[in-house]
Structure 1
Amino acid sequence: MATGDILDRKPPTKSNVMAQTQYFFSDPVVAAFCGGGMAGAVSRTVVSPLERLKILFQVQSVGRTEYQMSVSQALKKMWVEEGWRGFMRGNGTNCIRIVPYSAIQFGSYNVYKKFFEATPGAELNSISRLACGGIAGVTSVVLTYPLDIVRTRLSIQTASFADLGNRVGKMPGMWETMVLMYKNEGGALALYRGLVPTVAGVAPYVGLNFMTYEAVRKYFTKDGEKNPSALRKLAAGAISGAVAQTCTYPFDVLRRRFQINTMSGMGYQYKSLADAIRVIIAQEGIKGLYKGIAPNLLKVAPSMASSWLSFEMTRDFLVGLRAEADDNAPAS
C-alpha cells in the first residue's frame, strides 16, 4: 500500500459511525433479535405473579393441599406469606433467560424464513410459518435451557411446600442454584433435565404462535392498511397465545415435573416421558396434565399481547433507522 494512500485516507466522521450503527440495527434479523428481547422482558414482567402461580400448581403432587384453591385465593396466599417479592420470585432469572430466549426465537425465525420463501421476500403459507416457528422455538430452547430450569427451582423454593425442608435464612440465588445442581445432581446433564418434553412442547407451541398471530394479524388488517392498529395487534397476540398454549399445555406440565424430578420432598421419580404420562394419568387423571392451566390462560392474553406489540414497536423503530441514516448521509 502506498504511503500516499494512507495519508489521503480520511478518518471516519461521527456522522459516518452513526450511520453505520443505524444500518446495523436496522437489518431485519438484528431488528427482530432486539425486538424479541424487548418483547420477552416486557411480557414476562407484566404477568410474573401468574407465571409463578402456574408453576406452583403444576409441581404440586397428589395429596398436597398447599395450593389446592382458586387462583385469587392462591395469589392472596402468596401475597400474605411472601409479599411483593413472592409475586416477583424468579422473575429476575426469568428475564435473564427470556431476553436471549425471545431474542433468539424472533431472530432465528426471520433467518429461517429465508429458507422457506418460494422467492425472496415472498409471503409464507401457514404450514411454512408453522415449521419455521417450530425450528426457531427449538433453537431458542436448546441455547437457553439451563436458565429455565434454574428459574423453576427459584420459583418454588420459598413456597410453603412442607417437605422442602428448612427454609430459614437466605435462599440460594440464580448462580448458586446452578452450581449446586451441577455439583449435586449429575453435572451438566442436570441443567438439561426435562429438555425432551420441553422441546416436544415448544416446537408446536412456537410454530402455532407464529402461524396464528400472522394469520389473525392479516385478518385484522383492514383493506388499504399496511398494519392493523395497536389494539388489533394486542388482540391478535392474545388469540395466538391462547390457541398455542391450550394445544400444547400438557408438555409444559411434563417439563416442570422433570425439572424438579430430583428435588427432595416433591415426590416425583419419573423414569421417562412415557412413564411420566402414565403415572400422572393413573394418579391424577387427564386433568393432571392440565394443572395450572387457569392462571396460565389468565396470563397468556396480556403476556402474548404485550409481547407481540413490544416486538413490532421495537422492530419497526429499528428498521426505521435505515431511512433516517439515508436522509442524514452526506452526498457523494
Structure 2
Amino acid sequence: MSQSQPQPQPQPQSKSKSEQWQCENATAGAAAGFATVAAMHPLDVVRTRFQVNDGRVSTLPSYKNTAHAIFTIARLEGLRGLYAGFTPAVIGSTVSWGLYFFFYDRAKQRHSKNKEGKLSPGLHLASAAEAGALVCLCTNPIWLVKTRLQLQTPLHQTQPYSGLYDALRTIMREEGWSALYRGIIPGLFLVSHGAIQFTAYEELRKGIIDFKSKDRNKDSESDDKLLNSVDYAVLGASSKIAAVLLTYPFQVVRARLQQRPSSDGIPRYMDSWHVVKETARFEGVRGFYKGITPNLLKNVPAASITFIVYENVLKLLKMARRKD
C-alpha cells in the first residue's frame, strides 16, 4: 500500500498503468459475459420467441407462459432447441461485455480528468451511453444471427441455418451486407438500457460504500473491500430491473425487425416505425412488453452473476498486479 500514491513519474509509465487497467476491465467484463450466457441462455430463447410472436402468421408454436414454453421447446426440439443460437450468444456477450467495460472505463477516465476523479450522475450516464453505442455498432451482426437461430423451429419453412458461419454467409448472399445491421436503430436506442443500468449501479454502489464506511477509517482505495458478493448481486439486480422496465419496448422492436424474411425474400417488417405501428394497431401496449417475464427471470439474476464475476475477477487482477 505504500506504493499506492507514488511521486510523479515519467508519462510513459503512467500510460502503461492506464492501459493495464483498461485491459483488466475488458478481461473481467468478458469473463462476466460468458458466465451470464452459459447460465441463462434457455430463458433468452424463450424471451425472443415471445417477442416476435405477434399473434398473427407465425411458424412458432403457441406458448402459454414461460414454463410452458421451456417444456414445449424441450419436448419438441430437445436441448438443442433450448440452446439455439448459443454460439453467437457466447461470442456476442463475451465481446460485448469486454468492449463495454473497456469503453466505459476509458470514457470515465476522460470525463474525470478535470473533475478530481469524481463523476456526476450525468457524466456516468454519458460514459455508459458512449460505450453502449460503440458496442452496438461492433456487435449488431452477431445479435442478428443469434435472434434468427433462436427462431428456427421444426415448423420453419425456409432452409435453416446450420450455424453462425452459415448464417452470416447466407444473409450476405441473399440479403446483402446491410441486412446484418437490421435493428440497429432500436439497438442504438437500447444504449439507454446500459446507460440507465450503469448509472443506477454506480450511484447505488456509492451509497452502499458511504453507508458502510461511516464508522470505518478507510481510504478510497479500500472501497472495494467494503463490498462483498451479496452487495454486488443486489446492486446488479436492482440496476437491471430499472433498465429493463424503461427500455424493454426497444428490445421487442429490434427482435421483430431481425426476423428472417419469408421464402419470397420479403421482410415481415420494413423498418422500426412499421413495427411500432403494426404492434400498436394489433396488440396495443401489451405487445411492446411481450416476453418481459422470461426477460426479467433471465436478466435480473444474470445481472447479479455478471457483476459478481466482474468485480471479483477485477479484484483478483488487481491483487496479481500488486504482487508483481
TM class by shorter chain equals 0.7 to 0.9
Does the C-alpha gap of structure 1 residues 66 and 305 become closer, same or farther in structure 2, counting only changes over 3 Å? same
How many residues align? The count is 297
SS in 1 for 2:270: coil
SS in 1 for 2:261: coil
1:31 to 24, 29, 43: 24
| 2:261 paired residue number | 262
1:51 to 17, 40, 44: 44
| 1:96, distance to aligned residue in structure 2 (A) | 1.1
1:184 to 159, 174, 196: 174
| 1:106 paired residue number | 101
| 1:134, distance to aligned residue in structure 2 (A) | 0.8
- Work out whether 1:209 is the aligned partner of 2:221: no
RMSD of aligned residue pairs (Cα, Å): 2.3
Does the aligned pair in 2 maintain the 1:260–1:266 contact within 8 Å? no
| 1:218, distance to aligned residue in structure 2 (A) | 2.2
Larger CA Rg, structure 1 vs 2: 1
| 1:77 paired residue number | 72
| 1:272 paired residue number | 271
Does the aligned pair in 1 maintain the 2:262–2:268 contact within 8 Å? no
Does the C-alpha gap of structure 1 residues 41 and 266 become closer, same or farther in structure 2, counting only changes over 3 Å? farther
Q: So what's the TM-score if we normalise by structure 2? A: 0.85
- Work out whether 1:197 is the aligned partner of 2:189: no
Q: Distance in 2 between matches of 1:183 and 1:268?
A: 16
Deviation beyond 4 Å, 4+ runs, structure 1: 23-26, 263-268
| 1:91, distance to aligned residue in structure 2 (A) | 1.4
1:52-101 deviation digits (Å, cap 9, x = unpaired): 10001011122357233111111111111122222222112200111111
Q: Distance in 2 between matches of 1:241 and 1:104?
A: 19
Does the C-alpha gap of structure 1 residues 43 and 314 become closer, same or farther in structure 2, counting only changes over 3 Å? same
- Work out whether 1:165 is the aligned partner of 2:153: no
Q: So what's the TM-score if we normalise by structure 1? A: 0.83
| 1:268, distance to aligned residue in structure 2 (A) | 5.6
1:214-266 deviation digits (Å, cap 9, x = unpaired): 11222233123723121111011011111111110000011111111624499
1:302-324 deviation digits (Å, cap 9, x = unpaired): 11000111111112211222211
Does the C-alpha gap of structure 1 residues 274 and 166 become closer, same or farther in structure 2, counting only changes over 3 Å? closer
| 1:9 paired residue number | none
Aligned ranges for residues 247-258 of structure 1 at < 5 Å? Answer: 247-258=246-257
| 1:298, distance to aligned residue in structure 2 (A) | 0.9
Ranges in structure 2 where 5+ consecutive residues have no aligned partner: 1-12
Q: Distance in 2 between matches of 1:166 and 1:277?
A: 26
| 1:126 paired residue number | 121
